[in-house]
Amino acid sequence: MRKHIAILLIGVLFSVGVVGCASKDVATTNTNQSTTNSGKTAEELLVEKYEEPVKVKVVLGYRDPENPDTPDSVTPETQTAVKLLKEELNIELEYSWIVNSDQYSQKFGAELAAGNLPDIMMLSMEQFEDLQSQGGLGDLTEAYEQYRTDDIDAIINYDGQVLDTCRKDGKLYGLYNGTYQGQVTSQIYYDMNKLKELGIEEVSDLPTTIAEFEALCDKLMALDLDGNGKVGDPVLPAAKGMNSGLADFGAFFQAYETALGGWYDDGNGNLISSHTQENMKKALTKLNEWYDKGYFAKDFAAQDVYAANAPIVSDIVAGKYAIIPGSWWIPNWPLNDNKKNDPDADWVVGPTLTVDGAAPTILVPRISSGTIVAVSKDFKNPEALFKMMNWSLNYEAKIANPEYKENMTPEQKLEADSYVYTWLPYRVYAPMSLIDNYNFISEADKVGKTEITAEEAPANSEFWGAWNAYLQMKNGSTDPVVWGLYTSRVSPNGGVAQMYELYSKSEKWINEVYVTTPTMIKKQGELDKYETTTFLSMVMGETPISDFDKFVAQWEQLGGSEIQAEVNEWYKNK
């Protein structure tokens, strides 16, 4: 059980991902903000305590504390963060309802139908459009101008343009919290230990073209990796989510310069959709050949990597595969579990696959996916949102700092380790923290630094986990959990490093569309479903690839053309 908890905590630390200005004193942070009528700077305003209590009606979807030792008395309403918000800012959080995360959308939908919105809420892009068009959201323009600081901008406007997605007619209706664009890229992991048998010694021996990759797979087919006494078992894990980030087709689509969703400029100012182009047909043709050769399990389309106890994941953990396509994070799950079973496993990210040796153009979003924090139009104190965010930044950074942690009481420590402070109705996550931390640790590694003060450290609390993993690996740790963190975040052959490399060096097509058009709200779900089932069925050979044109026609007819017209209209008037 102990072990489990340790894994949990580290896992959660990195999924929660918080940012702050570490122990930097807020008041001394240099910003370029204007002062207000009252003559106070944004920093002063942000920490100013309200004279009269300000009640903030919020809602919450949450999970039980990850640390099972958390006392029952720690609830969303009694957690330290709520008490401190009251003490330090005189902000009183009132939870209208609190449910498990899984019941959140249901409760939100029902409450919205009854005309109820909380004062502060987290929304998807679709919800944002919908609520804004109904006039339900409050104007944040003024509050933002008064309360913006560099620390807050580093989150909600990290690239200087993302904030504009929430502007309507010049007014700001939400704060966008996105992710690093490079996270959409795909990678292929190879277990160098297993591949030795095939004469592959170095990363440079790994395939770089689809043809070489196929040759390697053919050789693997002739081996009995899982030791079940027969050859010809599947060599590539695959599942129904073609873009799910683990055991998916992303890396192959990437090689063929195509992707499942996205609208990019064809060079003449017209947006075209990526998955209806010829390249997708080529990619599917190849995948179908591979399916026929037996690279994928015959029933792969029934597999879901995210289902509890998914067999596909068990197979990966059991070491049945030497090649695993996926995203930057898979060393942290499930490759670390494989490493636990097989300490000799030596996973590295291989070269980006190409069709003909020329580096592929990748499709990346203009605005990465994320959530929007907004306030209700009835909320009288929109500035409270900025105060609370700023407060959280400081608080989360403070309690992640190892020095500060040492002085905590056991109860405080228990609560901090349970990550209950994420039970707040907004999120503060620095989109660039993965890259910042990687760059920082690589630099430190070059000069052989092993001591970091809180002042020097990148201003996000994710940093300490990555840093510790780095130090432990340096000291020869064999803990698979540490290995997972290190390989995904720090290793030069690992996830983040290779993602950063690919993203910054590649030619890009930009997926321009981040708006939700009326037809998308109604038909996108159906279209995606149709696309997924058709593509899966083409890979499995149930639908001939020659029907691709029919698919495109049908897709257009089901709403694709309407969407295309709408996004082009929007693009031209942007």
Partner 1 sequence: MKIKDSMSRKVFNVFNIVVLSLVTLSCVLPILHILALSLSDSTAAAAGKVSFYPINFSLEAYKYLIEKKDFFNSVGISVLRVVIGSVINMFLIVLTAYPLSKSSVNFKHRNKYMIFFAITMFIGGGLIPTYMVIKSLNLLNSFWVLILPGAVSIWNVIIMMNFFRGIPHAMEEAAAIDGASHWQILFQVFLPMSLPALASLLLFTMIGHWNSWFDGMFYMNSPEKYPMATFLATQIINNNKNITNMTPEQLAAMNALSDKSIRSSQLFLSIIPILIVYPFLQRFFIKGIVVGSVKE
Partner 2 sequence: MKAKTKNDLYQAKALHIMLLPAVILTLIFAYLPLGGIVMAFQEFKPLMGFIDSKWVGFEQFAYIFSMPSFWNALRNTFIIAFFKITLSILVPLVLALLLNELIGQKFKRLVQTTIFIPYFFSWAILGGMIIEIFAYDGAINHFINLLGGESIPFLVSNDWFREIIIGTDVWKGMGYNTVLFLAAITNVDPTLYEAAMVDGAGRWKQLLKITIPCISGMVILLTILGLGGILNAGFEQIFILYNPIVEQTVDIIDTFVYRLGIISTQYSAAAAAGLFKSIVSMVFVGVSYWIAYKTTDYRVF
Nearer Cβ to partner 2 (109/357): 109
Tell me the DSSP string of 171-203.
EE--EEE---GGGG--EEEEEHHHHGGGT--SG
Total residues found in the chain within this entry: 574
The SS3 assignment for 163 reads: helix
Applying the rule CB under 8 A, the residues between 302 and 331 that interact with partner 2 are 302-304, 307, 309-311, 314
Q: Which of 93, 131, 400, 441 binds partner 2 (CB under 8 A)?
A: 131
Is 98 a residue that touches partner 1 (CB under 8 A)?
A: yes
Which listed residue (334, 425, 458, 480) binds partner 1 by CB under 8 A? 334
Taking the C-alpha atoms of residue 91 and residue 390, their distance in angstroms, rounded to an integer, is 13
Each residue 4-43 as x (binds partner 1 by CB under 8 A) or -, in order, gives: x--xx--xx-xx----------------------------
The number of beta carbons lying within 10 Å of the beta carbon of residue 215 is: 12
What is the 3-state secondary structure of 265-313?
Answer: ECCCCCEEEHHHCHHHHHHHHHHHHHHHHCCCCCCHHHCCCCCCCCHHH
Q: Minimum distance from CB of 321 to partner 1 (Å)? A: 17
Contact partners, residue 285, CB within 8 Å, separation at least 6: 545
- Confirm if 129 and 387 have CB atoms less than 8 A apart: no
Nearer to partner 1, 96 or 285 (CB): 96
Could you tell me the smallest distance in angstroms from the CB atom of residue 105 to partner 2? 5
Is the omega angle on the peptide bond into residue 458 within 30 degrees of 0, that is, cis? no
Helix axes 518-539, 561-572, angle to 10 degrees: 130
Q: CB atoms < 10 A from the CB of 188, how many?
A: 24
145 backbone dihedrals φ, ψ, rounded to 5°:
-60, -35
Residue 245 found at the interface with partner 1 (CB under 8 A): yes
Which residues are registered as beta bridge partners of 175? 373
Q: Smallest Cα–Cα separation from 493: which of 342, 331, 343, 339?
A: 331
Residue 525 interacts with partner 2 (CB under 8 A)?
yes
Q: Which is nearer to partner 2, 22 or 59 (CB)?
A: 59
Structure tokens at 168: 């309507």
Considering the complex, what minimum distance in angstroms separates the CB of residue 300 from partner 2? 11
The one among 16, 112, 355, 545 contacting partner 2 by CB under 8 A: 112
Q: Which residues ranging from 122 to 141 are in contact with partner 1 (CB under 8 A)?
A: none
Per CB under 8 A, which region of 258-266, 325-333, 467-475, 545-553 contacts partner 1? 325-333
Q: How far is the CB of 310 from partner 2 (least distance, A)?
A: 8
Helical (H) or strand (E) element with 372: strand 371-375
Return all residues near 186 (Cβ < 8 A) that are at least 6 apart.
Answer: 248, 250, 251, 253, 254, 325, 326, 327
3-state secondary structure 302-345: HCCCCCCCCHHHHHHHCCCCCEEEECCCHHHCCHHHHHHHCCCC
Told to check if 1 binds partner 2 by CB under 8 A, we report no
| Residue (314 or 369) nearer to partner 2, CB | 314
Instruction: State the Cα–Cα distance between residues 51 and 394, nearest whole angstrom.
Output: 22
Tell me which residues in 497-516 interact with partner 1 (CB under 8 A). none
Q: Which does 11 bind (CB under 5 to 8 A by kind): partner 2, partner 1, none?
A: partner 1
Q: Is 101 in the site for partner 1 (CB under 8 A)?
A: yes
78-97 footprint of partner 1 as x/- string (CB under 8 A) = -----------------xxx
The nearer residue to partner 2, 6 or 231, going by C-beta atoms, is 231
The yes or no reply on residue 113 touching partner 2 (CB under 8 A) is yes
Candidate residues 4, 37, 72, 135; the one interacting with partner 2 per rule CB under 8 A: 135
State in angstroms the smallest separation of the CB of 553 from partner 1: 30
Tokens of 170: 């010049």
Task: Please pick, from the candidates 332, 376, 487, 511, the single residue that binds partner 1 as defined by CB under 8 A.
Answer: 332
Task: Among 114, 170, 447, 451, indicate the residue that binds partner 1 (CB under 8 A).
Answer: 114
533 binds, among partner 2, partner 1, none (CB under 5 to 8 A by kind): partner 2
Which position has the token pair 């449910």?
A: 99
| Residue 135 partner contact from partner 1, partner 2, none using kind-dependent CB cut-offs of 5 to 8 Å | partner 2
- Assess 530 for contact with partner 2 (CB under 8 A): yes
CA distance 526 to 532: 10
Residues lying near partner 1 in the complex (CB under 8 A): 4, 7-8, 11-12, 14-15, 63, 66, 68, 72, 95-103, 106-107, 110, 113-114, 116, 241, 245-246, 304, 306-309, 329-330, 332-334, 337
Residues lying near partner 2 in the complex (CB under 8 A): 105-106, 109-110, 112-115, 117, 127, 130-131, 133-136, 240, 299, 302-304, 307, 309-311, 314, 521-522, 525-526, 529-530, 533, 558
